[in-house]
Amino acid sequence: MADDTPPKPIIGVTARQFEGGPLPRIGTYAPYLEAVIAAGGAPLVLPLIGEPEKWVSGVVAGLDGVLFTGGEDVEPARYGEAPHERLGVVSPLRDGVELAVFEQARLVGLPIFGICRGLQLINVALGGTLYQDLPTELSSAKLHAQGATEWLDRSHTVLIEQASALARIATVQRVGTNSLHHQAIRDVGLGLSVVGRCATDGTVEAIEGSGPGWLLAVQWHPEVLWDGVEGGPHRAIFEEFVHAAARYREERCRSTH
């Protein structure tokens, strides 16, 4: 293989723990990595190990963007609430690691993209709160939980705020999305704007940051919807994120040479 391939922007992808085996196992779902590669980025799964203060700044220094992935519920104590009886599985380790990664990423102005739990984590990191269980707290029943075997279904429509970066990126005002969440944003975090809502019940489905640094997060799972003709808006989000990471990389290389 030729060795003159220009380096691609390096996208850190947050990991989850997997049960079983004699030793702790971490990793992520392949579609996150496939979508980053398809958009022109170089994905790297981030560590999910304790004492993040020992490694986060050194790892983030080598990244050009970070993707916060889906997964467990954020511990309610992180936004000052007691656990609701329908709270799902939590991971204090993952909360601590991802909050440390987020803080460091913000500090250096890294482009940030959040998906599902990633959107919720970002919101909590910026002082926002969550509905701990949508069906019981907002009575939207099964609208947002289409079923874990139906990831490719587009079970609801998201209305995109006209004057938003997301509208410019997606080039549509209505987008069909999948929906596999039982939590959602309640109070919006500092410096975040709601730029997408479920057309049926108004649930927050997309947020973006006012800067500094590129920040966008969605409640649905674009990493499995980007392929094919209908995938345009979902693919465009990944591409715009990787473009932002490429710009960040240019700046980073200029300032260190």
| Least distance in angstroms from the C-beta of 217 to Mn ion | 13
| Least distance in angstroms from the C-beta of 28 to Mn ion | 21
Distance (Å, whole) CA 134 – CA 142: 9
Distance (Å, whole) CA 142 – CA 192: 27
Q: Which is nearer to Mn ion, 93 or 145 (CB)?
A: 145
Of the candidates 116, 156, 182, 240, the residue annotated as catalytic is 116
Distance (Å, whole) CA 153 – CA 75: 29
Active-site residue, 221 included: yes
Torsion of CA 51, 55, 56, 59, to 10 degrees: -150
Active-site residue, 81 included: no
CB 193 within 8 A of CB 83: no
Number of other CB atoms surrounding residue 108 within 10 Å: 13
Closest residue by Cα to residue 205 from 238, 166, 149: 166
Q: Which is nearer to Mn ion, 69 or 179 (CB)?
A: 179
Active-site residue, 253 included: no
CB 17 within 8 A of CB 23: no
Q: Is the dihedral of CA 126, 132, 137, 138 positive or negative?
A: positive
The binding site for Mn ion (CB under 5 A) comprises 144, 179
| Nearest residue relative to Mn ion (C-beta) | 179
| Least distance in angstroms from the C-beta of 220 to Mn ion | 6
CB 182 within 8 A of CB 117: no
Q: Which is nearer to Mn ion, 144 or 234 (CB)?
A: 144
Q: Which is nearer to Mn ion, 79 or 131 (CB)?
A: 131
| Least distance in angstroms from the C-beta of 95 to Mn ion | 22
Of the candidates 144, 156, 182, 221, the residue annotated as catalytic is 221
Residues involved in catalysis: 116, 221, 223
